[in-house]
């Protein structure tokens, strides 16, 4: 990055204290830019306002809404708009970076409130949402205010094009690849084992697809074990699984980053059976960096991330029998499993923050051409129209 240090404002639309890919991306990017000497302020909704990092400002408490097959915790409305304007006025920013500015959130509010260099990053990859239709008439002129647009994947770019008929530069989510490169083999997780990391109670994460595949896999590999890491109530999930399969599962709960590195280095195969709603798949990038041999559903984001099968094995989404076949083939062919894992580990360096942050900063520089700074807009007719006020 250049020696010229900038004041960068980043808006995260989702609750800061709720785990999620966008929050992780924003936090990692902010800390990377701070280490490069830039001033960075992140504005985000937060439930626990007393335990935020120094670089995060709370915009208020989020509310839960259904979005893209999950529950999103976002913040919207006139009080939030006032807080967004105050943050922009105090920030004296060279550039604003707004994440998911096309959904009702503080990122959209910031886009309404500001003028000047603004970059929008679009994460969602999904079919048209009813909420998008509801605000579409006022979304397009607001999104046009963005100086530059980023999509985290081809799937996210295509979603943006379909929804708002605009385009974006593809820059993937970042990971700290070195955190996963040197994972230590843990014998507890080796052998004919399958690994899964995620919010396993969410249907779109696809754990039930993996469960349905198990009888066929067990018939070939009677010692098979499945290790599941991540937040959720294991007992509730086990109620939905045939009791004869219970002994095959071990739920690990949340694991640390160092434990995750060891886990990815150890499991026989890493399984990502997600059924949709994924725009990138940051856990897949981490799994590749950790040296895991990945088996993933062929949803668009995963297909793109895995190079259409060059860096991981794809199965037909929601087809448990195809998943079983791919797992059986790989568990029975250690040479192929190792070869694809090695290709994936090398490829994962493309997602390292040293690479990704430079690409994002290049977009910032494009947006900042001309030297104008971010200011408050005096034109808020779109916001007034949304509230049903007279313009």
Same domain, 247 and 322: yes
When mean pLDDT is compared across 59-68, 75-84, 151-160, the lowest value belongs to 59-68
Q: Over 90: is that where the pLDDT of 134 sits?
A: no
pLDDT for 380 equals: 60
- Spatial contact of 241 and 229, defined as CB atoms under 8 Å apart: no
pTM: 0.85
pLDDT bucket at 183, cuts 50 / 70 / 90: very high
Longest dimension (CA), the chain: 69
- Spatial contact of 280 and 172, defined as CB atoms under 8 Å apart: yes
Same domain, 109 and 129: yes
The domain containing residue 152 runs over which residues? 7-174+352-386
d(CA 216, CA 147): 52
Burial pattern 220-259, b for ≥16 Cβ within 10 A else e, equals ebeebbbbbbbebeeeebeeebeeeeeebbebbeeeeeee
**Percentage of residues in the chain having pLDDT higher than 70:** 91
pLDDT bucket at 164, cuts 50 / 70 / 90: confident
pLDDT bucket at 391, cuts 50 / 70 / 90: very low
pLDDT bucket at 156, cuts 50 / 70 / 90: confident
Residue 1 belongs to a domain: no
| Number of domains composing the chain | 2
Using alpha carbons, list the distances in angstroms from residue 201 to 39, 215, 271. 38, 21, 16
Instruction: Report the chain's terminal Cα–Cα distance, integer Å.
Output: 43
Q: Is 175 helix (H, G, I), strand (E, B) or coil?
A: strand
**Percentage of residues in the chain having pLDDT higher than 90:** 74
Same domain, 120 and 230: no
Residue 379 belongs to a domain: yes
Residue 2 belongs to a domain: no
Using alpha carbons, list the distances in angstroms from residue 20 to 30, 123, 128, 227. 16, 12, 21, 21
């Amino acid at each position: 990055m250049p020696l010229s240090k900038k004041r960068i404002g980043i808006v995260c639309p989702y609750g800061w204290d709720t785990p999620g890919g966008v929050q992780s991306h924003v936090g990692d990017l902010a800390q990377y830019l701070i280490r490069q000497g830039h001033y960075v302020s992140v504005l985000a909704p937060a439930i626990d306002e007393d335990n935020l990092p120094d670089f995060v400002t709370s915009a208020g408490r989020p509310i839960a809404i259904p979005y893209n097959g999950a529950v999103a915790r976002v913040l919207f409305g006139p009080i939030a708009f006032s807080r967004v304007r105050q943050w922009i006025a105090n920030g004296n920013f060279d550039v604003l970076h707004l994440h998911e500015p096309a959904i009702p959130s503080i990122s959209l509010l910031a886009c309404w409130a500001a003028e000047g260099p603004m970059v929008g990053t679009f994460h969602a990859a999904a079919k048209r949402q009813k909420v998008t239709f509801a605000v579409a008439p006022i979304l397009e002129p607001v999104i046009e205010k963005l100086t530059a647009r980023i999509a985290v994947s081809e799937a996210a770019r295509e979603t943006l094009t379909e929804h708002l008929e605009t385009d974006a530069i593809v820059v993937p989510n970042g990971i700290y690849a070195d955190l996963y490169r040197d994972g230590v083999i843990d014998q507890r997780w080796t052998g004919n084992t399958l690994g899964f990391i995620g919010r396993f109670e969410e249907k779109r994460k696809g754990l039930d697809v993996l469960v349905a595949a198990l009888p066929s896999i067990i018939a070939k590999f009677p010692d098979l074990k499945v290790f599941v890491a991540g937040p959720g109530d294991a007992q509730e999930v086990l109620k939905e699984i045939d009791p004869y399969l219970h002994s095959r599962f071990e739920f690990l709960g949340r694991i640390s980053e160092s434990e995750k590195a060891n886990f990815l280095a150890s499991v026989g195969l890493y399984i990502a059976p997600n059924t949709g709603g994924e725009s990138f798949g940051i856990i897949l990038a981490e799994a590749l960096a950790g040296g895991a041999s990945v088996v993933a559903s062929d949803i668009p984001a995963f297909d793109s991330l895995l190079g259409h099968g060059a860096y991981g094995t794809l199965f037909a989404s929601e087809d448990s029998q195809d998943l079983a076949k791919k797992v059986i083939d790989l568990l029975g062919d250690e040479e192929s499993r190792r070869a694809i894992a090695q290709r994936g580990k090398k490829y994962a360096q493309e997602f390292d923050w040293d690479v990704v942050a430079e690409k994002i900063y290049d977009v910032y520089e494009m947006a900042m051409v001309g030297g104008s700074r971010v200011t408050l807009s005096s034109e808020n007719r779109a916001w007034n129209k949304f509230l049903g006020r007279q313009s």
